[in-house]
Amino acid sequence: MAQAAAKITKDMTFLEMLRSYPETAKVLKKYNLACASCMGAQSEPIDLGAINHGLDPEQLLADLNAAVK
């Protein structure tokens, strides 16, 4: 069986993701990311935000996508 395409991609901004998938806020909280109140969430892509916070972008994306399945 083919794997479903990721709904959340590394190029999405945190704000785009939160607007489309509000349930991802719980995952961000797990990682101690306060993206909903951060000005950078409007323009910062998810992969760059993860790196800037010392997180593994691939693991963060996997957890975010798991939350929206």
Q: Walk me through the domains of the chain, giving residue ranges and CATH numbers.
A: 14-67 (1.10.3910.10)
* Residues with pLDDT less than 70, the chain: 1-5, 36-37
**Given this model, what pLDDT does residue 1 score?**
46
Tokens of 54: 């010392």
pTM for the structure as a whole? 0.85
CB 60 within 8 A of CB 50: yes
Contacts of 3 (CB under 8 A, 6+ apart): none
**Given this model, what pLDDT does residue 45 score?**
93
**Given this model, what pLDDT does residue 28 score?**
93
**Given this model, what pLDDT does residue 41 score?**
72
